[in-house]
Amino acid sequence: MIEQILASGVVLTTPILLAAIGGLVNRQAGIVNIALEGKMLVGAFVAIVISAATGSWLVATLAAALVSMVIGYGFSLTITRLGANMITAGLGLNVLAAGAIGFLMSYAYGSSGTLRLPDVALLPHVFPQSIERVPVVGRLLAHLDPLTILAVVAIAVLPFLLGATRFGLWIRATGNAAPVMRSVGLKPKLLQEASTAFAGFFAGLAGAQLALASIGIFNEGLTAGRGFIALAAFYFGRDRPWQTAAACLLFGLLDAAQIRMQTVGLPPRLIGAFPYLMVLVALVVSQMRSLRRTQ
């Protein structure tokens, strides 16, 4: 049972981690990206449609990431150029994305709520199924997909990119001292727009992983608040990559555990709220510790 929870937990962690990576970089540049949820939903929808049309999970994944990146860039322009409130704009994009997808499903596919398309190409497993025989981690390794590997690699190199490269320094300086950036001839708005496009790209990858990891079906509730959990994760991790990854893994494991708990006869809705409740508790504890350090 522990092996099953661990394997499922890692798979469930991947979309949260991918979205959190993009949101963390965006946050470092000074933009709180509330719209991660909507861009994940768009990514999932595009991934299903393109995968069914082309029979290629790779083309579908790239299409999902690029479409979400373009949406992310447009979202950033409303903030940097038009002066929109980032929270209001983000919530508006979430509502717009859900409404637009619902309309397209009804108009183009005659479907409502759930979209099932034939010949959807799912994400492949990186290792052969025979690796399941390896004790403890065999089941986990057997279920790894390329986007999970990408998420692990991205979170491993992100501290270096943010802390030891010129671009990373510019991103962090934009979020902390935009007037200083302007004084040395750099353009913080362009960096904020680039970071928001980056967040959109990774949110699209997250949506593609949700849609193509196992079921190959799109549902309007597929993201189930994971974009907001990703937002909570990098706040809980204090914008630090490894701590953010740990928070994402915590939620993924809790989500996997609640799925197993549904077999013991407890109310499904109560059990389904368990991971979200634990994340809320973790955020409260984190904030209390932060307040104590400042006193």
Please say if the pLDDT value at position 269 is more than 70: no
What pLDDT score was predicted for residue 275?
63
> What is the rounded CA–CA span in Å between residue 180 and residue 271?
49
What is the phi/psi pair of residue 84, to 5°? -70, 150
Please say if the pLDDT value at position 271 is more than 70: no
Which tens digit of pLDDT belongs to each residue from 35-85? 999 999 999 999 999 999 999 999 999 999 999 999 999 999 999 999 999
Tell me the two tokens of residue 58.
């790779």
What pLDDT score was predicted for residue 270?
63
- Tell me which DSSP letter residue 220 carries: T
- Domain ranges (residues) in the chain: 2-223
Most trustworthy range by pLDDT among 130-134, 173-177, 207-211, 233-237: 207-211
- Tell me which DSSP letter residue 55 carries: S
How many percent of the chain have pLDDT more than 70? Answer: 89
Show Cβ contacts of residue 46 under 8 Å, excluding neighbours closer than 6 positions.
60, 63, 64, 67, 68, 204, 207, 208
Which tens digit of pLDDT belongs to each residue from 141-169? 888 999 999 999 999 999 999 989 999 99
